[in-house]
Chain A
Amino acid sequence: DAGITQSPRYKITETGRQVTLMCHQTWSHSYMFWYRQDLGHGLRLIYYSAAADITDKGEVPDGYVVSRSKTENFPLTLESATRSQTSVYFCASSGQANTEAFFGQGTRLTVV
């Protein structure tokens, strides 16, 4: 199916564990983004990527790692999960000339 998909949709993990959230898009969009959504903060940019092998920090990158070995995938890894990383994570993508960013359905992550 065309579009942008995130997996898993829901995840519960323990403090200190490594967890990876997956994002896959089928449009060959150059740009991909990871946001987290928290009450009272809206969405905040964690990391973004302008193309394969090019990534850059957003507003709240600490505690996260990303990679972009293929254009269509942009995984987000929490190296050692903390409770403050409990959030809903959204992946998005957009093309070079697009005025619209397309969002995935989100991953609800709970760190206990």
Chain B
Amino acid sequence: GEDVEQSLFLSVREGDSSVINCTYTDSSSTYLYWYKQEPGAGLQLLTYIFSNMDMKQDQRLTVLLNKKDKHLSLRIADTQTGDSAIYFCAESRPGSGNTGKLIFGQGTTLQVKP
């Protein structure tokens, strides 16, 4: 099975908050990431959190990490139509030598309705 799990689809209204959830299996992961993919484009790093942190906030983005439950979430405040994209959760395993060697979830498609 997948090491990193995400729900596949989320639909919200413009102006609402979006919460995208992710679960992972390896409690020794060092970094956890959120990437955004717009149609026809590559992946863009949105934010990341180091495994010894519980929360990270960056403007409209809030990342919460629950290590006990191996649960990661991304909250987007005041969601805009430009936030419509696929969001990937990814983890970097210890000993991988570099943070580019990532395990990705399946991706969550966020649809923002005007």
Give A contacts to B, CB under 8 Å.
Answer: 30-31, 33, 35, 40-45, 48, 50, 58, 90, 92-94, 96, 98-106
* Across-interface contacts of B44 in A (CB, < 8 A): 103
* Across-interface contacts of A40 in B (CB, < 8 A): 106
Q: Which of B37-54 contact A (CB under 8 A)?
A: 40-45, 48
Can you list 15 contacts pairing A with B, beta carbon distance less than 8 Å?
Answer: A31-B98, A42-B104, A42-B105, A44-B104, A45-B101, A45-B102, A48-B100, A90-B43, A98-B100, A100-B45, A101-B45, A101-B102, A103-B44, A106-B41, A106-B42
- CB proximity of B103 to chain A, nearest CB, Å: 8
* Contact residues of A: prevailing secondary structure: strand
Could you tell me if A33 and B100 are in contact, using CB atoms closer than 8 angstroms?
yes
Could you tell me if A104 and B42 are in contact, using CB atoms closer than 8 angstroms?
yes
Could you tell me if A99 and B42 are in contact, using CB atoms closer than 8 angstroms?
no
CA distance A100 to B49 in the complex (A): 11
